[in-house]
Amino acid sequence: MNWTSKAEQLLDKTPAFIGDKLRVKLEAKAAQLNLGQIDSHFVKKHTHNDQGSATKCPQPKVSDSPLTQAFARKYAVHAAMMGGTKREGNLQETLQQEIMQTPQNRPGMAYIHIPFCCSRCHFCGFYAESSIPAVMDSYVNALALDIARSGQLLKSAGQQLQAVYFGGGTPTDLSAENLKHLLETLHKEVPLTADCEITLEGRLYGFNDHKVQTVLDGGVNRFSFGVQSFNTQIRQQVGRKQPREEVIERLNRIAELAEPFQAAVIIDLIYGLPGQTETEWLQDINSAINNTQIHGLDLYQINIIPSTPLMAIKDKLPPMANLQQRANLFSKGNQTMLDAGFTRLSIAHWSRDLRERNRYNSGNKRGDNCLPLGSGAGGRWGAVSFYQQSDINRYQDAIKLGEKPLAMGVTMPPHYPITLIAIDQLEQQYLDITKLEEAAEHPLCSDLLPMIEHWEAAGLLCLKPSGKAELTEAGEFWVVNLQYLIDVSLKEILCAK
């Protein structure tokens, strides 16, 4: 087959072990179409939804400073796992079948979406609806029906849930009455394991003692609060309302109220916010460790989302850390957490003690079954991912008609379970190809080894004699890229089986 020089150049950009296979596939496709020549247009067209990610997402560069230079950018998180097929037909019946087929000894989880916030933070891509009391009341009535009906389905299948996550948006913006209503419905209608983890996400602003006591009495045993930064100026620049002193006072008051219930208090901090240098970042982490009674901490890198207000005003704000500076903030943050004796539960998540079970988050990363509840919620049961109607009016209309408001279903691709195992391993800072081979029942090693050896040369992991590879600090920072690349590779190897 004749290749134009531009087409050859495109192929050259892919790593050798992918490029060779891609060449064979493209030539087969061209022959099928009776083409005598492959040009760059053909390569782009036929690699876009298939191995296209391999051409778009190069392998790491070998350099003296892998932490800051291994890649030019961070890849979209798990974008390649989108390679599923849209599910046609009655989604409600599909969900029912998937739940009925699940072995009863594997408790699932539920994600309950509350799409309201009293104000929008400049950096956030999750904002959906303003917290208007009458709108929230009406939504909660529909949501309670969604919860109760799904509870009946779980009961008839003999299924239990071991983790429930109220996420948002800002669930803590709901009134105490609405929170009580939802928690009572959950306990009455849904089969939960005796030790079920029930998380309420939200923010400290407006989450008064009465609400806190109501949800603790209602069974919430884990809080996840977005703090983002303790620095008053940095917080207020990105649209957070409370000053440092108030944030610390509220956090400690909530931890005090949570103590008799043994409930865990977790917070999120973000690094790379406008005007946040290493000094402010380390002050933030040290404030969390030394000035509060929290049980766990998430350290997130700022993700600059094009559609957010931050993009529009960023030139008027102090500068944000570039990628190299963020890599250094990541490194300093990890060191501070280790020095303080925290345990790493995943790349970004740390626990102070065993109070933080982190059941929902780790189940989510492992791909445990998760029921979506509420408008805009996503979940997956068995081999199908489900997405609920994101328009709150249409969501409520469907509930009134007695339907489960599922808007879309996607059957996950065949390599997906193995990708999930690899992603989970990488979150635990290692890669064990032998375990992947056992799970896939396929000799993956010979296909994957050239790439893993290249990652070792690029300083992202260390291969041990056992065959297990351990991530270096640089590998931890670039983990989303490694997860992406392993997903692309597994898709290539296993879907061609």
Give the footprint of ligand SAM on this chain (CB under 6 A). 117, 123-126, 168, 170, 201-203, 225-226, 228, 268, 270, 300, 302-303, 305
Q: Which is nearer to ligand SF4, 95 or 114 (CB)?
A: 114
Q: How many residues bind ligand SF4 (CB under 6 A)?
A: 11
Backbone angles phi, psi at 217, to 5 degrees: -60, -30
SS3 394: helix
Per CB under 6 A, the list member of 121, 321, 399, 479 interacting with ligand SF4 is 121
For ligand SF4, the binding residue among 87, 113, 181, 203 (CB under 6 A) is 203
Residue from 71, 127, 225, 478 in contact with ligand SF4 (CB under 6 A)? 127
Query: Is the separation of the CB atoms in 198 and 263 below 8 Å?
Result: no
Omega prior to 169 cis, within 30 of 0 = yes
User: Rounded to whole angstroms, what are the CA distances from 40 to 34, 44, 223, 234?
Assistant: 17, 6, 52, 47
Q: Which is nearer to ligand SAM, 251 or 421 (CB)?
A: 251
- Quote the least distance from Cβ 127 to ligand SAM, whole Å: 9
State the minimum distance, in angstroms, from the CB of residue 297 to ligand SF4.
17
Among 83, 169, 409, 459, binds ligand SF4 (CB under 6 A): 169
Assess 374 for contact with ligand SF4 (CB under 6 A): no
Q: How far apart are CA 17 and CA 37, in angstroms?
A: 23
Burial class of residue 101 (count of CB atoms within 10 Å of its CB; 0-12, 13-18, 19+): exposed
DSSP bridge partners of 167: 113
Q: Is residue 333 part of the contact set for ligand SF4 (CB under 6 A)?
A: no
Q: Which does 270 bind (CB under 5 to 8 A by kind): ligand SAM, ligand SF4, none?
A: ligand SAM
Task: Please say which residue, 202 or 376, places its beta carbon nearer to ligand SAM.
Answer: 202
Pick between residue 251 and residue 399 the one whose CB is nearest to ligand SAM. 251
Q: How far is CA 486 from the centre of its chain?
A: 17
Angle at 148 between CA 145 and CA 153, to 5 degrees: 125
Q: Which run of H or of E encompasses 359? A: helix 359-366
Alpha helices by DSSP H, 200-322 = 209-217, 232-237, 244-258, 278-291, 309-313
Nearer to ligand SAM, 10 or 302 (CB): 302
Rounded least distance, CB 292 to ligand SF4, Å = 19
Residues sharing a CB contact under 8 Å with residue 156, sequence separation 6 or more, in sequence order: 100
The DSSP code for 58 is: P
Q: How far is the CB of 288 from ligand SF4 (least distance, A)?
A: 17
Q: How far is the CB of 428 from ligand SF4 (least distance, A)?
A: 27
Cβ closer to ligand SF4: 83 or 169? 169
> Is residue 120 part of the contact set for ligand SF4 (CB under 6 A)?
yes
Are the CB atoms for 295 and 445 separated by under 8 Å?
Answer: no
Question: CB-wise, 203 or 404, nearer to ligand SAM?
Answer: 203
Shortest distance in whole angstroms from residue 442 CB to ligand SAM: 36
The answer to whether 338 and 78 have CB atoms below 8 angstroms apart is: no
- Residue 414, φ and ψ in degrees, nearest 5: -60, -30
- 450 contacts which partner out of ligand SAM, ligand SF4, none, CB within 5 to 8 A by kind? none
Shortest distance, position 423 Cβ to ligand SF4, whole Å: 24
* Residue nearest ligand SAM, Cβ-based: 226
The residues that bridge with 153 in the sheet, in sequence order, are: none
Are 129 and 169 a contacting pair, CB within 8 Å?
yes
Nearer to ligand SF4, 201 or 487 (CB): 201
Q: Is 168 among the residues that bind ligand SF4 (CB under 6 A)? A: yes
> Looking at the chain, how many residues does it have?
497
**396: amino acid identity, one letter:** Q
Binding mask 58-97 for ligand SF4 (x = CB under 6 A): ----------------------------------------
Residue 112 pairs with which residues in a beta bridge?
Answer: 166, 373
Contact positions toward ligand SF4, by CB under 6 A?
Answer: 117, 120-121, 124, 126-127, 168-170, 203, 226
